[in-house]
Chains A and B, each alone.
Chain A
């Protein structure tokens, strides 16, 4: 409960995402706009799911704790499904916009490819999701207080920060895989993305037993990272070339805009 905790948790939660933003998105205005639009779509999905949850809570028995928890779980599942629906909706919108531009343009190159859009929209979803999950917690961590004074876990802040980090990166990977599977019409992949999102959310129901929630989340994160890497065109060979600095394409890319 100090400034150190605040800065530590902020950098844990948002560090990689902000680095990604600064190095890959900030220079291109078009990508920034699509990032913010992605964040907006996530926000609308959250709004709808909160609306439904709120209505169910109003008509339920407010005194029964188990019912409230059950409704909350229902709210979580609904929210996940709505988020994925809105991701699909955003995909359709982007396809239409892209198609319109391509039809009008005599050139073959579009200003932004669908893969870049997948990455940017996934990151937009991730930013908004992470921000909504953790910003209030971070602002509370600046003030005075004792964590877990009523017997709750003392690792509340740090576990929240790590979970948020995982969620942001996961949204980005889900975006890439989702768009790719929509492009290739691989509906099983789509289902897998939705399922993994559900699994990650449902696994948080065992909090505060963080080993039960953080470990599966990070396992799923690594799997999705590998899958997204393969979807984006990477391969073991590329990886080796990149790490040993032998990849001519990559080296050239540093010197000219792509």
Chain B
């Protein structure tokens, strides 16, 4: 028996959509840069460079401190942005691993499958199992490609209402139904007695606040927390319902697809990003985790050119030199608005698609679910973080939207299989004799 169609539709399209947002940062529009007022620029440079002691016009300053200072700033700001992504990714993984280790529901294998993985894996025959997992992968990837293309077409033809309705439906599903399921399983595990009215109140409040935070306005940290929670919930669903071998093959195939979709000129994700840039619009906030303020879409009080600028600057959040100058724009723009927003706008931050969170957590969760070995989980965790770090480094070098999945997932897969098969027996023998290396 399969779970209902609409559920899978919504959460699968979420994964399809969000992994299309896995390009981290769209490329920054250079022309816009040059037209900005310069005073705050000089202030920024003064605060970080010890050598300069008077403001002076920015052109001279720029000549005096070429790439050197920017390199140091790049390194510092780059590092800050890397950490701003490490923390949510780590949190998501911790939630998933903690759930897998304590609530046995998510690691129990059932005969229920998603309709996207129709072929059953027969544990008896290796060849058949491999073949079926490849077929499952093909089905899943084609569904994802199809959904992504539909999304891009809808976006191109400006069917915003349809897209928003779709997103709202899927986040409704996640925030209400899946969190209800999750809470139910947690209560079962810890044998907590709970009555329906209380549960209804909890779920209702949780869901409604989540919808508001994700689709409209809300405190940044609450929005981030909700995005992490829904990514974790989605990852748990994948861990439960994807068959063993299919899950690994799907992870590999998704990272290849991500690479193609973001980097090739006709890739759907690249087209999505470019269209969004052309129109100076942010990509849907429900699909991207942002480490800095993004609710510009709902900003009604700023004058139009301002808000367009601000939106574009937020969109173009990149690490390198833009990072320095954009803080000036943000600081400048902030002064024209309420002071409450100023400190939020100081750092444009970095964006990562929710699909990346989901698939990283799927990898680490599956590593935690198989056997009781913590070494494998730790190894995958470190590998994914290093992959993310390398991706952000590449982002700083190339300054355009990059897929966040390939490097991390490759490292994660390599380390999972090698730690599980090679390191585990070694460490087990060492621990048995209490030898230390």
Q: Which residues of A contact B (CB under 8 A)?
A: 29-30, 32-33, 36-37, 39-40, 43, 46-47, 49-51, 53-54, 57, 68-69, 72-73, 75-76, 79-80, 83, 101, 104-107, 109-111, 128-129, 131-133, 135-137, 139, 156, 159-160, 163-164, 167, 200-201, 204-205, 207-208
> Which of chain B's residues 419-437 have a Cβ closer than 8 Å to chain A?
419, 421-423, 425-431, 433-437
Partner of B437, one of A43, A80, A139: A80
With A37-B389, A50-B426, A104-B71: A43-B415 Cβ-Cβ less than 8 Å:
yes
Q: Could you list some 5 contacts between A and B, CB below 8 A?
A: A46-B426, A54-B425, A106-B51, A204-B436, A207-B435
A72 contacts across to B, CB distance below 8 A: 429-430, 433, 435
Q: In chain A, what residue has the closest Cβ to B387?
A: A40
| B contacts with A: majority SS | helix
B277 within 8 A of A: no
Are B75 and A111 in contact, CB atoms less than 8 angstroms apart? yes
Distance in angstroms from B99 CB to nearest chain A CB is: 16
Are B437 and A79 in contact, CB atoms less than 8 angstroms apart? yes
Complex alpha-carbon distance, A19 and B49, angstroms = 32
Complex alpha-carbon distance, A237 and B137, angstroms = 67
Are A36 and B385 in contact, CB atoms less than 8 angstroms apart? yes
Complex alpha-carbon distance, A10 and B433, angstroms = 20
With A132-B375, A163-B436, A207-B433: A106-B419 Cβ-Cβ less than 8 Å:
no
Partner of B382, one of A79, A107, A128, A159: A128
A80 contacts across to B, CB distance below 8 A: 437
- Shortest 10 CB-CB contacts between residues of A and residues of B: A106-B68, A29-B83, A207-B434, A105-B68, A29-B79, A50-B426, A30-B79, A50-B422, A135-B374, A79-B437
Complex alpha-carbon distance, A111 and B430, angstroms = 40
Complex alpha-carbon distance, A83 and B419, angstroms = 16
B429 contacts across to A, CB distance below 8 A: 68, 72
Are A107 and B75 in contact, CB atoms less than 8 angstroms apart? no
Are A76 and B435 in contact, CB atoms less than 8 angstroms apart? yes
Partner of B422, one of A32, A51, A107, A136: A51
Are B375 and A136 in contact, CB atoms less than 8 angstroms apart? yes
Are B389 and A156 in contact, CB atoms less than 8 angstroms apart? no
> Which of chain B's residues 26-67 have a Cβ closer than 8 Å to chain A?
49-51, 65-67
A132 contacts across to B, CB distance below 8 A: 375, 378, 423, 427
Distance in angstroms from B91 CB to nearest chain A CB is: 15
B335 within 8 A of A: no
Partner of B68, one of A107, A131, A136: A107
